[in-house]
Amino acid sequence: MHLIESAQGKVQLAQAENRNEEANKLTSPSLPTESLGSDMTDKSESSFAVVWFNERTYQSGGVVAVIKGTEAAERTLNDFDWCQSEENRRAGWRYFLEETDLRPGMDPEKATKLRQVRLDLQES
Give residue limits of the domains in the chain.
Answer: 2-25+43-123
Contacts of 36 (CB under 8 A, 6+ apart): 42
Dihedral angle, C-alpha 112, 1, 80, 21, nearest 10 °: 80
Contacts of 102 (CB under 8 A, 6+ apart): 47, 49, 63, 66, 111, 114, 115
State pTM to two decimals: 0.65
Buried b or exposed e, range 23-51, using 16+ CB within 10 angstroms:
bbeeeeeeeeeeeeeeeeeeeeebbbbbb
Query: Is pLDDT of 5 > 60?
Result: no
Q: What is the pLDDT of residue 42?
A: 56
20-70 pLDDT tens trace: 444 443 333 333 333 333 334 556 789 999 999 999 999 999 999 999 999
Question: Which residue type occupies 114?
Answer: L
Q: What is the pLDDT of residue 9?
A: 47
104-116 pLDDT tens trace: 999 999 999 999 9
Contact 30, 78 (CB under 8 A): no
Q: How many CB atoms lie within 10 A of CB 119?
A: 11
Average pLDDT over residues 75-96: 97
Average pLDDT over residues 91-115: 97
Q: What is the pLDDT of residue 8?
A: 44
Give which of 80, 67, 96 is closest to 14, Cα–Cα: 80
Average pLDDT over residues 77-88: 96
